[in-house]
Amino acid sequence: MPHSRGVEDHLTVGRVAELAGVSVRTLHHYDRIGLVRPSARTPAGYRAYAAGDVERLREVLAYRRLGFGLREIADLVDDPATDAVAHLRRLRGLLLHQRDRAAATVTAIDRELEARAMGIRATPEEQLKAFGPQLYDSIGADYPATRRTEPRIAARVWEALGDARTVLNVGAGTGSYEPTDREVTAVEPSAVMRALRPAGAAPCVAAAAEHLPFADRSFDAAMAFSTVHHWRDPVAGLRELRRVARRVVVFTYDASDPGWLQRFWLTRDYLPEFAGLLTDWPSLADLTRAIGGRAEPVLVPWDCADGFFEAYWRRPEAYLDEQVRRAVSVWTRVGPEAEQRAVAGLRDDLASGRWAERNRDLVALDAAELGLRLLVA
């Protein structure tokens, strides 16, 4: 290791250990395994840490605190695509998530203590559920890779918002469909999704659609995009949108038509398990009634920019891509067995020409009716 000029700007290993609250042995170990290598030595031969080394150490220690293993941390901090700001954002999101999980666990324990004090025992399912992850807290990190604004569909949503000046976006995720020319407030229950919102995005409240923390008629309009199917109680959530806003715009899909499963080759020929995800799903009439509105079809363009489940209906190879699938909750919800089988079947049919033969009519279409609907009230 070279003696560096300006080593007086560096921190000695002892000082770094003291400041960071770790042992000198730990720092020596990180150096030996190449995780954090101090870039210089003092004339007396002590390890000396430059500002960049300290920055890297700080990232390592934060990931460590979150429970990551040293090997995983090495991959994370060596990723050339992630700069210091991106690390800080990711760490912040993960820490907020951990904090929320801890708070939820405390609440669940308090509830069980209260119940026990009254002689009530929680069922095994209830006990476990309190510790299970929220879906989007587990899959959210993969979302931004392929999920982004589809301008043609966004235009429909924004037009439906009419002259609304204040807009509440419920189940906002990373905010792909938030209009930039109005005053938007977002609602998002997943800490991971909240942390992934870009800098400068609209302020976001941690809450769920079923209990919106706003007074009646607080907003000119409320919108919900591609989220209602995740709500524990869709009708209650839609009524909440209706309560807090004069106008309501919801992008969702119609599962009540018995032919819906046949409409899309992916669910028809490869993933029939999709139907099982919708057994408790209210009819389109019930959803529309909850906001007192009407439903308009939304066709999916062949080159849809937002990678939702139906987006690649004319680009079947996309579904072979793990990154595409990880950004769509359906694949996680059907489970790995169904996913692997569906992907293997599709891969075979694409290679043999069977897919092309069966879906020959699609090539001529620029947009497809796959049951997506805009509910407007």
Can you give the binding site for ligand SAM, defined by CB under 6 A?
136, 147, 170-174, 176-177, 188-190, 193, 208-210, 225-227, 230-232
Nearer Cβ to ligand SAM (100/188) = 188
Nearest approach in angstroms of CB 173 to ligand SAM is 2
- Beta pairing, strands 294-297 & 204-205: unpaired
Nearest approach in angstroms of CB 261 to ligand SAM is 20
Nearest approach in angstroms of CB 104 to ligand SAM is 14
Q: Tokens 């009407």 label which residue?
A: 294
Nearest approach in angstroms of CB 135 to ligand SAM is 7
Amino acid, res. 69: G
Nearer Cβ to ligand SAM (13/157) = 157
Nearest approach in angstroms of CB 62 to ligand SAM is 24
Nearer Cβ to ligand SAM (193/334) = 193
Given a contact cutoff of 8 angstroms between Cβ atoms, the answer to whether 141 and 192 are in contact is yes
Nearer Cβ to ligand SAM (53/188) = 188
Nearest approach in angstroms of CB 333 to ligand SAM is 12
- Determine the Cα–Cα distance for residues 304 and 148; give it in Å rounded to an integer: 10
Nearer Cβ to ligand SAM (280/361) = 280
- Determine the Cα–Cα distance for residues 360 and 354; give it in Å rounded to an integer: 10
- Beta pairing, strands 183-187 & 204-205: parallel
- Determine the Cα–Cα distance for residues 207 and 68; give it in Å rounded to an integer: 28
Nearest approach in angstroms of CB 360 to ligand SAM is 31
Lookup: tokens for 175: 């905010």
The residue number with the shortest CB distance to ligand SAM is 173
3-state helix, strand, coil in the chain (%, to 5): 50, 15, 35
- Tally of CB atoms within 10 A around 257: 12
Nearer Cβ to ligand SAM (40/153) = 153
Lookup: tokens for 354: 């069977």
Nearer Cβ to ligand SAM (209/338) = 209
Q: Tokens 């003291």 label which residue?
A: 18
Lookup: tokens for 55: 């920055």
Nearer Cβ to ligand SAM (84/103) = 103
Sheet containing 11-12, strands listed edge to edge, beginning at the edge strand earlier in sequence: 11-12, 47-49, 40-41
- Tally of CB atoms within 10 A around 86: 11
Phi then psi dihedrals of residue 91, to 5 deg? -65, -40
- Residues 6 or more apart whose CB falls under 8 angstroms from that of 273 comprise 334, 335, 338
SS3 140: helix
Nearer Cβ to ligand SAM (79/296) = 296
Nearest approach in angstroms of CB 251 to ligand SAM is 8
DSSP 226-254: S-GGGSSSHHHHHHHHHHHEEEEEEEEE-
Nearest approach in angstroms of CB 361 to ligand SAM is 29
Nearest approach in angstroms of CB 191 to ligand SAM is 9
Farthest-apart Cα atoms in the chain, separation: 79
Nearer Cβ to ligand SAM (38/140) = 140
- Residues 6 or more apart whose CB falls under 8 angstroms from that of 67 comprise none
